[in-house]
Amino acid sequence: MKMLIDGEWTDAASGETYEVRNPASGKLLDTAPLGGAEDVKRAVDAAREAQKKWSAMPARDRGRIFFKAAQRIRDRQADLATMLTMEQGKPFKEARDEIQGFANILEYYAGISAALEDGLIPLAQGKRGAVLRRPIGVCGAIIPWNVPGIIMGWKVGPALITGNTLVLKPATTTPLTNLSLAYAMGEAGLPKGVLNVVTGPGKSVGDEIVRNPGVRKISFTGSIETGKRVLQAVSASMKRVTLELGGSDPMIVCDDFDINKAVAGAVHGRFYNCGQTCTAAKRLFVFEAIADEFIGQLKSRVERLNVGNGMDEGVEMGPLNNRAQWEQIKGLVEEVRTKDEGRVIVGGRVQDGEQYRNGFFYMPTLVTNVAPDSRLLREEVFGPVLPIVVVKGLDEAIERANDTKYGLGSSIWTNDMEKAKAACERLESGITWINQHVKLPPEMPFGGVKESGIGRENGLETIDAYYELKSIML
């Protein structure tokens, strides 16, 4: 495919391309332009020009384009989901949900577009004040490969509905879905230059987006490590910044809860998207009274998980998305073994079998008796490996859950209102689920505390992050 700058499908200025391969088979899917700083500069110029007309349009008219785009995307969801599965690896059903999720996000922002208005504020002595909400200008969006469709929606929806224009950089391994979604928005009438998609590496394309003085806001989703680099770089031009970073979500299973349901929740929470979800359940704390039974049932369910090519019927878990991620997961589990930091009770190695030979497959893995300072508990485990910790009760669970630099999501599994309430109040995270995990609907503000990020996406809360507010005294 080509990339999208100023409404044109173009090659990189360098003329170079790179390969996009299927992580389940190693097969070549397509190539994408190997963009660089020159391409970003062109995209920023186009976005700045387009922003004049786009911001002058009533928000409701921008919303109409979103509605049309959402419909086109729904009409084509099978093709788009196939592309997503082939470049990302996730099971087709998860990919289809993700494409529908992108359409849901556009419809959410289209729906509120007519309500984006300023009003007068009554002040002392019969005076009035007004708050003008004006778009920031050209925004830059940098996104990861794990949920490229949804995360693109989280950026495109609020940035464009408020009258900003965008230069978006996909992750290098998943450019095709992002380009195809942008294509559908163009077909729905999005004016040229409003959404530009520049493909290529973080070190060149990403870095130029972050440093280019014409870009006035950065919305970044990715790892804490890269997020910190972005935060330093934006300070040079004082850009606005939203950072959605990594997590190591705790899942707390209390002894009053139905073990069957908790097992299903843990399987979905951890192994959905092959464990590569920012808000996956990455550390499991289970009360000692039910620990043996819970672990036994979870083990037998995980042993039966159907792992394979995401396009095959009945597959529950695909491969990891890329070689670096695969090597990282292999290394983590090897380290647990060599340092004797835990007991691997299921999995713990690459999948064997002919059908797995050319993909980045890893067995779904459970580890018990984990040493408190093992990297499994200290760092974000971005793959299908679940460390399980047995705790005496709620106080110990919450204390251990909070003993981390991360603070993205958390969940508590109980029917006891008091326990649920305590967890909601005391767990340090941007979201706490009760008897569920992972889901992030566009209506709910979402983001991290501690090192998991700055700012919120989704909900009405994200709207003001794409405006400059100006107070006027009449």
Residues labelled as active-site residues = 155, 244, 278, 457
Kindly write out the interface string for residues 334-373 of this chain, putting x where it contacts ligand NAD by CB under 6 A and - elsewhere.
Answer: ----------------------------------------
466, 463, 464, 461: which is closest to 137 by C-alpha? 466
Inter-residue contact 230 to 241 (CB < 8 Å):
yes
* Paired tokens of 372: 């408190």
Minimum separation from the CB atom of position 99 to ligand NAD (A)? 17
Q: With binding defined as CB under 6 A, does residue 230 bind ligand NAD?
A: yes
Helix (H) or strand (E) holding 413: strand 409-413
What residue has token string 């900003």?
Answer: 164
Would you give the distance in Å from CA 85 to the centre of its chain?
16
Rg (CA), the chain: 23
DSSP state of 449: S
Minimum separation from the CB atom of position 317 to ligand NAD (A)? 18
**Of 40 and 86, CB closest to ligand NAD:** 40
* Paired tokens of 173: 């391994």
Q: With binding defined as CB under 6 A, does residue 244 bind ligand NAD?
A: yes
Q: With binding defined as CB under 6 A, does residue 207 bind ligand NAD?
A: yes
Kindly write out the interface string for residues 33-72 of this chain, putting x where it contacts ligand NAD by CB under 6 A and - elsewhere.
Answer: ----------------------------------------
Q: With binding defined as CB under 6 A, does residue 408 bind ligand NAD?
A: yes
Q: Which of 210, 363, 386, 401 binds ligand NAD (CB under 6 A)?
A: 210
**Of 295 and 431, CB closest to ligand NAD:** 431
**Of 222 and 269, CB closest to ligand NAD:** 222
Q: What is the rounded distance in angstroms from the CA atom of residue 34 to the CA atom of residue 23?
A: 20
228, 210, 206: which is closest to 453 by C-alpha? 228
Q: Choose the stretch contacting ligand NAD; rule: CB under 6 A; options: 83-91, 206-214, 259-267, 458-466.
A: 206-214
Minimum separation from the CB atom of position 457 to ligand NAD (A)? 7
Could you write out the DSSP letters of every residue in 42-108? HHHHHHHHHHHHHHHS-HHHHHHHHHHHHHHHHHTHHHHHHHHHHHH---HHHHHHHHHHHHHHHHH
Q: Which of 23, 33, 135, 206 binds ligand NAD (CB under 6 A)?
A: 206
Q: Which of 108, 145, 287, 361 binds ligand NAD (CB under 6 A)?
A: 145
Q: What is the rounded distance in angstroms from the CA atom of residue 254 to the CA atom of residue 142?
A: 38
Q: With binding defined as CB under 6 A, does residue 141 bind ligand NAD?
A: no
Q: With binding defined as CB under 6 A, does residue 203 bind ligand NAD?
A: yes
**Of 103 and 171, CB closest to ligand NAD:** 171
* Paired tokens of 291: 């620990």
Q: Which of 453, 458, 462, 467 binds ligand NAD (CB under 6 A)?
A: 453
| Residue positions counted in the chain | 474
Q: What is the rounded distance in angstroms from the CA atom of residue 40 to the CA atom of residue 56?
A: 24
Q: Which of 1, 40, 59, 142 binds ligand NAD (CB under 6 A)?
A: 142
The three state secondary structure string of 293-321 is HHHHHHHHHHHCCCECCCCCCCCCECCCC
Residue 166 sits at the vertex; the CA angle it makes with 161 and 170, to the nearest 5 degrees, is: 120
Strand partners, 130: 120, 472
Q: With binding defined as CB under 6 A, does residue 111 bind ligand NAD?
A: no
Minimum separation from the CB atom of position 221 to ligand NAD (A)? 5
Kindly write out the interface string for residues 264-293 of this chain, putting x where it contacts ligand NAD by CB under 6 A and - elsewhere.
Answer: --------------x---------------
* Paired tokens of 276: 């590569």
Q: With binding defined as CB under 6 A, does residue 250 bind ligand NAD?
A: no
**Of 129 and 331, CB closest to ligand NAD:** 331
Q: Choose the stretch contacting ligand NAD; rule: CB under 6 A; options: 64-72, 122-130, 142-150, 287-295.
A: 142-150
Q: What is the rounded distance in angstroms from the CA atom of residue 394 to the CA atom of residue 380?
A: 23
* Paired tokens of 98: 């993700």
**Of 249 and 316, CB closest to ligand NAD:** 249
How many residues sit in the footprint of ligand NAD (CB under 6 A)? 31
Q: Cβ neighbours of residue 352 under 8 Å, at least 6 residues apart?
A: none
Q: Choose the stretch contacting ligand NAD; rule: CB under 6 A; options: 50-58, 81-89, 140-148, 302-310.
A: 140-148
**Of 85 and 452, CB closest to ligand NAD:** 452
Q: What phi and psi, each to the nearest 5 degrees, are found at residue 126?
A: 70, 10
Kindly write out the interface string for residues 372-401 of this chain, putting x where it contacts ligand NAD by CB under 6 A and - elsewhere.
Answer: --------x-x-------------------
313, 311, 315, 312: which is closest to 271 by C-alpha? 315
Q: Which of 51, 77, 146, 162 binds ligand NAD (CB under 6 A)?
A: 146
What residue has token string 């991290």?
Answer: 448
Binding site for ligand NAD (CB under 6 A): 142-147, 151, 169, 171-172, 202-203, 206-207, 210, 221-223, 226, 229-230, 244-247, 278, 380, 382, 408, 448, 453
